[in-house]
Amino acid sequence: MSLAGKKIILGVSGSIAAYKAALIVRGLIREGAEVRVLMTPSATDFISPLTLATLSRHAVVTSVHSGESWNNHVELGLWADAYLIAPATATTLAKLAQGLCDSALVAVYLSARCPVFFAPAMDVDMWLHPATRQNVEKLQSYGNHLIDVDSGELASGLVGQGRLAEPEAILDVLRAHFNRRQDLAGRRLLITAGPTHEDLDPVRYLGNRSTGKMGIALAEAAAARGATVDLILGPTHLSTSAPGVTVIPVRTAREMHESALDRWPMATDGILCAAVADYRPESVAPEKIKKTEGDFALTLIRNPDIAADLGRDKRPDQFLVGFALETENGIENARGKLERKGLDLIVLNSPRVPGAAFGHDTNQIQLIDRNKVTSFELKAKREVADDILDRLPPNRTP
């Protein structure tokens, strides 16, 4: 598949490999893409903005503001179908990872809603340094795509990893992205995510450590593969504005239960990723509970079971996925939940695995159905989301 009609931003940072940006722009234009080029100030020491402006047929942006004019980084970030940063130096990787917004390149990155690809270029020891490795991993955990370095002779005279990938290889990555499968087109997914909060009084609640990152990653990945997604999201500071995703904010388990049951008849598939409170206070105090002498007893009552109720109402043409967070006897407990609640697949993870479960950008899962257990290594939650979505069955006839 060609790149004809695609809107591509190319961000160029200050590396000796910046000369390859001209070849990248030429390749994109030759395939019919529309290209806008951003350059860091240091990049202009290695290749002229005039060269890239001539090849791209558009003025090159080197600053958020240029003299009297204002370059709207938000508008540019919304315009693009993909943002490619090549070459990405060690400094640029660090700024992107930390959100240090001191250039048009980083400003547009922070505003972009499109997929972001970054192709590093630096000397071998810089590439292998733990700080660089950590920045690369952090960028990948945000859902950005690494175009890995090549090995060979470097500008320093050393031989090793760190060379910018060849322009044609970079274009191949973009072609593959735009040719990605739309295997979920026509499907409507119901996804729950985040925690629930159960009120004790006007200022306190029972909750948990869920941030909603895994569920949001699932929603964005499903939409990218063509699905329409209803994301029922508990109280969290995170959200998504991805095209194809409708966010339904809720607060309590009962609100999430009601929203899920309302939308389940329209769904083809459900993924219940939320960390829903099993219990809530029997009564909510109308005023703040004051501290008194002695202990305080709290009576809790059961919340409705979203997974069990959706599993009970599941049609033969619907597929239901649940999550199990377990600290012991994980596979046994997850299989029991799978059977009791009428699930088709269950995702098992554990907070005891470093970097997994609540609050992390990564997760390590096992997928369990009635026939087998499939284990995965620790990886970015967006990649985990695709592993889960890969297990949805092909389109079914009701």
36-94 pLDDT per residue, tens: 999 999 999 999 999 999 999 999 998 876 544 455 667 888 899 999 999 999 999 99
* Per-residue model confidence (pLDDT) at position 76: 83
Distance CA 87, CA 47 (A): 12
* pLDDT, tens only, 106-115: 999 998 989 9
From its phi and psi, is residue 142 left (phi > 0), alpha (psi between -120 and 50) or beta? alpha
Residue 397 clears pLDDT 60, i.e. is over it: no
Residue 285 clears pLDDT 80, i.e. is over it: yes
The set of long-range contacts for 303-306, using a CB threshold of 8 Å and a minimum separation of 24, is 303/196, 303/198, 303/253, 303/254, 303/257, 303/276, 303/277, 303/278, 303/279, 304/253, 304/254, 304/257, 305/341, 306/192, 306/253, 306/256, 306/257, 306/260, 306/261, 306/272, 306/274, 306/276
Say whether 137 sits in a helix, a strand or coil: helix
347 CB-side CA count, 13 A: 30
Distance CA 190, CA 205 (A): 26
Mean of the per-residue pLDDT values for the chain? Answer: 92
Q: How many CB atoms lie within 10 A of CB 176?
A: 10
Distance CA 122, CA 314 (A): 53
Tokens 């990152």 belong to residue:
213
To which CATH superfamily is domain 7-178 assigned? Flavin prenyltransferase-like (3.40.50.1950)
Residue extents of the structural domains in the chain: 7-178, 188-285+294-389
* Per-residue model confidence (pLDDT) at position 182: 81
Beta pairing partners, 88: 120
CB distance 223 to 242 below 8 Å? yes
Q: Is 60 exposed, middle or buried (0-12, 13-18, 19+ CB in 10 A)?
A: buried
* pLDDT, tens only, 325-381: 998 898 999 999 999 999 999 999 988 888 887 878 889 999 999 999 999 998 888
Q: Is 341 annotated as a binding residue?
A: yes
* Per-residue model confidence (pLDDT) at position 241: 80
* CA proximity to 26, closest of 57, 61, 55, 50: 55
Segment 175-193 mean pLDDT: 89
* Per-residue model confidence (pLDDT) at position 65: 64
Amino acid found at 299: T
Give the predicted TM-score (pTM) of the model. Answer: 0.65
* Per-residue model confidence (pLDDT) at position 31: 92
Distance CA 260, CA 267 (A): 10
Q: What share of the chain in percent tops pLDDT 90?
A: 73
Q: Has domain 188-285+294-389 been given CATH number 3.40.50.10300? A: yes
Segment 2-31 mean pLDDT: 94
Q: Which residues are catalytic?
A: 208
Residue 179 clears pLDDT 80, i.e. is over it: no
* Per-residue model confidence (pLDDT) at position 69: 45
Q: Is 288 annotated as a binding residue?
A: yes
Q: How many CB atoms lie within 10 A of CB 28?
A: 23
* Per-residue model confidence (pLDDT) at position 66: 56
Written as six digits, the tokens of 374 are: 């499939």
* pLDDT, tens only, 299-320: 999 999 999 999 999 999 999 9
* Per-residue model confidence (pLDDT) at position 1: 54
CB distance 385 to 347 below 8 Å? no
Whether 188-285+294-389 and 7-178 are alike in CATH topology: the answer is yes
CB distance 358 to 371 below 8 Å? no
Maximum average pLDDT range among 113-117, 222-226, 273-277: 273-277
* Per-residue model confidence (pLDDT) at position 106: 94
Q: Is 46 annotated as a binding residue?
A: no
